[in-house]
């Protein structure tokens, strides 16, 4: 299934035969210290930069009404962000994974994003659209 926006991800997660928990890492864009002039120009125009995790959260699918609601909540609790990376964790039958089950996986997700290893996650822009990076 091709996911083009966050609400499609929610729909797909809700339709799975096992309960799901979403792992979400909100990232900001920073200009690397060793950036060249072209990178600086792209960053100044609102593109490029290095993605840096700012905050993370795990939520049962039922806790997320829509991307708009999630973005509003993120705005209230954290700094401005440029991208949110998402992954889903399957439970057992109708029992979703707990926050305790998700915590170590969420930490690994943060660490992977810090290393630039993002292929396993779906990145969404602040409008909730899936984007291609790299």
Residue 11 neighbours by CB distance under 10 Å: 13
| Residue 25 φ/ψ, nearest 5 degrees | -125, 115
Q: At what angle do helices 6-14 and 67-77 cross, to 10 degrees?
A: 110
Tens of pLDDT, residues 32-46: 777 888 888 887 777
Poorest-pLDDT segment among 40-44, 121-125, 129-133: 40-44
Q: Give the C-alpha separation, 97 to 127, whole Å.
A: 28
Q: DSSP label at 122?
A: E
Tens of pLDDT, residues 80-116: 899 999 999 999 888 889 999 999 999 999 999 999 8
At residue 30, the pLDDT reads 84
Mean pLDDT of the chain: 90
Token digits for 36? Answer: 């060249």
At residue 70, the pLDDT reads 95
Quote the radius of gyration of the chain (alpha carbons, Å): 15
| Residue 61 φ/ψ, nearest 5 degrees | -55, -35
At residue 85, the pLDDT reads 97
Q: Is the pLDDT of residue 29 over 90?
A: no
Give yes or no for a contact between 74 and 84, defined as CB atoms under 8 angstroms apart: yes
Domain spans of the chain?
6-124
Q: Which residues contact 106 (CB under 8 A, 6 or more apart)?
A: 23, 25, 56, 57, 58
Q: Categorize the per-residue pLDDT at 134 as very low, low, confident or very high, splitting at 50, 70 and 90.
A: low
Average pLDDT rounded to a whole number, residues 117-132: 94
| Residue 131 φ/ψ, nearest 5 degrees | -125, 155
């Amino acid at each position: 299934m091709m996911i083009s926006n966050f609400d499609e991800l929610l729909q797909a997660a809700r339709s799975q035969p096992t309960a799901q928990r979403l792992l979400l890492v909100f990232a900001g864009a920073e200009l690397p210290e060793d950036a060249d002039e072209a990178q600086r120009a792209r960053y100044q125009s609102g593109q490029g930069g290095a993605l840096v995790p700012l905050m993370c959260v795990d939520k049962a699918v039922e806790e997320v009404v829509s991307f708009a609601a999630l973005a509003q909540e993120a705005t209230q609790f954290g700094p401005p962000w440029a991208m949110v990376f998402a992954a889903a964790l399957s439970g057992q039958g109708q029992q979703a994974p707990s926050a305790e089950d998700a915590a170590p996986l969420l930490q690994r997700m943060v660490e992977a994003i810090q290393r630039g290893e993002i292929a396993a996650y779906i990145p969404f822009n602040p409008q909730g659209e899936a984007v291609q990076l790299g």
